[in-house]
Structure 1
Amino acid sequence: MSKTILVVGSVLLFLVPALSANAQEQKDEETVTVTGEVLDMVCYLDHGASGPKHAKCARTCINSGLPVGIKDKSGKVYLVVGEHKPLNRELAGRAASVVTLKGKLVSRDGINLLEDAEIIK
């Protein structure tokens, strides 16, 4: 991985827990269902990587603990976390595939988080 990917990944690893903690303080959370492509957030943010051609790399990155996300058909991207735990193990095998997740939507400063997410299908 390039130095840029490692830097972005490190920043996101610290950002996700902070967002999750702040989300608990926010009172206007809503439960939503999101259907979209499972993304490796580092490669997606660094160089727009997504889709079937990137699936193998995305699985590797997600399995290594880098942040996982989902991009819906409108192009909205969400960081994804389970209930006080990452969902990497559950989502790595579905990298670049379309899944449906249900969770609490929290948005702050332009960043979207699907918290307490669970896989629907």
Structure 2
Amino acid sequence: MKSKLQAGFVLLVVLGAGGAFAWQEHSHEHQGGKTAQITGQVVDIACFVGHNSSGPSHAKCAEACARAGNPLAIYDEATKTLYLPVSLDHKNPNAKLMGFIEKKVKVSGTVMEKAELKGIAIEKVEAFQ
């Protein structure tokens, strides 16, 4: 029994070390983009695109959708552009926007575009009056 436990422990250590090395290999160069500031309303894209729902009266639903895993985005009404948050550090892309759901914000970061999709790697987000 003791040798099985020791073998299991050794296997866990080896797999854990292998996973750490695999993560290091995962790092890659970022595409670049342009530093910019954008202003807009934080929306959940499921309801915004699928149901045409947004605004303060929709905030509780949007928060529930975001907590369920639906992506948030920043909608710039002036340019009719939807920006998806891009998480280059492999963390939850919604995290920096959760406190601003269905509110106007000013966001600083790096804007990237590919296949007609615009994204922003958020550096700073703040309420916009």
* TM-score, length basis structure 2: 0.65
1:108 aligns with 2:121: no
Identity of aligned residues (%): 30
Give, in whole Å, the separation in 1 of the partners of 2:28 and 2:112: 9
1:58 deviation in Å? Answer: 0.6
Paired with 2:29 and 2:83, the residues of 1 have a C-alpha distance of 14
* Structure 2 unmatched ranges of 5 or more: 1-26
For the 8 Å contact 2:43–2:72, the answer to whether it is kept is: yes
**Residue of structure 2 equivalent to 1:15:** none
The alpha carbon displacement at 1:64 in A equals: 2.4
Which residue number corresponds to residue 42 of structure 1?
A: 46
CA distance, structure 1, for counterparts of residue 99 and residue 105 of structure 2: 11
Larger radius of gyration: 2
| 4+ residue runs over 6 A deviation | none
Amino acid in the other structure paired with 1:98: K
Q: 1:77 aligns with which of 62, 67, 82?
A: 82
Q: 1:117 to 1:45 in 2, by over 3 A?
A: farther
Map 1:4-23; keep pairs closer than 5 Å. none
TM-score (norm 1): 0.69
